[in-house]
Copies of this chain bind each other. A is one copy, B any other.
Amino acid sequence: MGKKLKLGIIGAGRIGRMHAENIVSNFRYVEVKAVADIFADKIKAWAEELGIKNVYKDYKNILEDKEIDAVLIFSSTDTHAQIIIEAANSGKDIFCEKPIDFELDRIKQALDAVEKANVKFQIGFNRRFDHNFKRVYDLIQEGKVGDVHIVKITSRDPEPPPIEYVKSSGGLFFDMMIHDFDMARFLTGSDVTEVFASAAVLIDPAIGEAGDVDTAIVSLKFENGALGVIDNSRKAVYGYDQRVEVFGSKGCITVSNDTPSSAVLSSAEGVISDKPKYFFPERYKDAYIEEMKAFFDCIINDKKPIVTGRDGLEPVLIGMAANRSLVEGRPIKIER
């Protein structure tokens, strides 16, 4: 293997720590050389146990370290664009958790910086690396469904997030359905041209009071002529419901939820099987590792990332259109 790939991690909240631990456990050809977090003191013990030698309060220390090849950005969304720009200017390859930003201008500035610096850039749409969705994608690529006619995506959380989160997250279309917008583009291989959103507050009135919805169905039209529909709910009592269906001229592919086991109990009460894995940490456990593997592979073998800057931008455009559709009660065309 020779020299190890050297990383700096910016942001060590829940998701940042998960990624750091995944990397230390799974990629012996990679070294996490430094981690930066505004609460640097709080993560020192954790970093030490992981064998990360440098813990900074200021991410600029990472950007200044010439030995570091790439940065992983897991800080709060409002810092993403600025850090991307600086990291790109420092010549670091970049992995950034989604979304890049909520403002189009800032997203474009960040992507411009990336392009100018000609660094690798991957955005954290981890579901593309899920074994089920990846398999759907592969089967489509192999021509098994022929031309795609209809894409249906179901995404339902086991529990609504805290109301505070709802207030600042950008709303259901941005904190939740944005993954499905990306999935729709990934599977069809086509951009979305028109969006119609239908939504309601059926689970918790407090979500409505916070200006958001908790149940939504969004119709999509794609550039290649296909039609799509996504449904989201903030609360599925049976757990995390993550399915897709792709129908085309040669067939239809569906995926069902992953479960903790395949055990089926037949009793006088009925035939009972496991509920889906509870939430994203369980369901996408391996996908989080796979997306890192793909990022490292891009850097080491000089490949184009599977999830590009434009893949980070487009779902934001769709989410904005969905929000506008909901407000105006009509379908919205996406302008680029």
Contacts and interface: CB of A to CB of B under 8 A. Distances in A.
A273 B254 CA distance: 10
Most B CB atoms within 10 A — which of A50, A139, A273? A273
Interface string A249-289: 11111111111111111111111111110000000000000
A265 B237 contact: no
Contact of A215 (B149, B215, B256): B149
Given A156-B247, A262-B258, A272-B270, A252 B225 contact: no
A235 B251 CA distance: 10
Dominant secondary structure of chain A at its interface with chain B: mixed
B229 A200 contact: no
A251 B227 contact: no
B139 A263 contact: yes
Nearest to A137: B263
A28 interface: yes
A266 B251 contact: yes
A257 B200 CA distance: 30
A231 interface: yes
A147 interface: yes
Given A225-B200, A329-B331, A132 B236 contact: no
Contacts of A199: 227
A250 B237 contact: yes
A267 B248 CA distance: 10
A55 B126 CA distance: 39
A197 to B, nearest CB: 9
A127 interface: no
A203 interface: yes
